[in-house]
Amino acid sequence: QVQLVESGGALVQTGGSLRLSCAASGRTFSSSAMGWFRQAPGKEREFVTAISKSGFSTTLAESVKGRFAISRDNAKNAVYLQMNSLKPEDTAVYYCAAGRTYSKRSYDYNYWGRGTQVTVSS
């Protein structure tokens, strides 16, 4: 069992940066693939980025490529999302997720945090 808690969400201006953190508990963290998803009002949850168990492989949604980066520190049981050059379109609740499979699909993840709000003003 893995429990996840996101933090770092805030109100920022267009062009600003934020670093989101996801703290995990449970001995299975190091064996879990991790992902970040987001959901804006009136829209469905969408994939942002994911990282493999070892941290060796990552993938990004086209909309955030070149601006966002995911990383993990298994020794600290944590995964991070660095967000740069933020746009109003990035406004959403951001969720951290853990699963057995490295995937862009939300249903491949078994554990989810409660989310953290990111708001980008124009």
How, if at all, do strands 58-60 and 78-83 pair? unpaired
Beta bridge partners of 116: 94
Say how many C-beta atoms besides its own lie within 10 A of residue 32's C-beta: 25
28 has pLDDT over 80:
no
Q: What is the dihedral of CA 53, 56, 57, 58, to 10 degrees?
A: 90
Whole-angstrom distance, CA of residue 39 vs CA of residue 17: 19
For residue 102, the model assigns a pLDDT of 85
Whole-angstrom distance, CA of residue 29 vs CA of residue 20: 18
| pLDDT tens profile 50-92 | 999 989 999 999 999 999 999 999 889 999 999 999 999 999 9
Mean pLDDT along residues 25-30: 80
- Here the tokens at position 105 are 């699909």
Sign of the dihedral defined by the CA atoms of residues 40, 112, 13, 61, in that order: negative
For residue 36, the model assigns a pLDDT of 98
Q: What percent of the chain has pLDDT over 90?
A: 87
For residue 62, the model assigns a pLDDT of 97
For residue 27, the model assigns a pLDDT of 73
For residue 13, the model assigns a pLDDT of 98
pLDDT band at 37, cuts 50/70/90?
very high
For residue 117, the model assigns a pLDDT of 98
For residue 94, the model assigns a pLDDT of 98
Say how many C-beta atoms besides its own lie within 10 A of residue 6's C-beta: 22
Beta bridge partners of 73: 78
